[in-house]
Structure 1
């Protein structure tokens, strides 16, 4: 993967910046990221808000789907939540490309808490692949 694309996405995705996402690994069709759940990410019952987890998984999806160098934009996404996450816990998201054609790509993201890989959410997404390449 082009390091310039990773740098571009890290610096220009404002939600990922707010989440304070750390990019651990990116290679063609794959990404792994982490973040720490903060107090300002909790909902009214003191667990990580679902939209935060969705946005976190979505950034892993964006990294993996754009890793080929062509601009890929999400056209559908779904998430299923299994367990809660609390303030102070580290989340890890791993995205795997499950299929890609000339114009479409399918991706699966698993979100784990802490380093013991306790699954908390499963995300699937589809992208439309544009003709344009990243200009970085």
Structure 2
């Protein structure tokens, strides 16, 4: 039960954002359709507002669930990593609200996992390693 309570899933939130963007006219309702709100300052402001609200909702969920997980496991600290850790609002909120130390690498080190996977593949390719497309995922794959 704990695992389900602390799971991160934003599919519903993404769908809600899409529906809202369609409702206010910044995203087409159907493929091939032109958005109702023409390009310009108003459209830019509407997109900025939608984006800010989306970011706020995701940051709030991440902070709440992370702090709850830390509390339940009696963690002595929290380490943020990956591409999401580059988000300034997330960094700020975690630092403000966490009762335990929050460690965050500088933004230049908060890279996307896709880039790390590509880097690992590059070095294996350079060494002459070739694998068939049917290769299974290996979560403990060594990089380098």
Same fold, TM-score > 0.5, yes or no? no
More helix by share: 2
**Structure of larger gyration radius:** 2
State the TM-score, normalizing by the size of structure 2. Answer: 0.31
State the TM-score, normalizing by the size of structure 1. Answer: 0.32
Structure showing greater relative contact order (alpha-carbon pairs closer than 8 Å, 6 or more residues apart)? 1
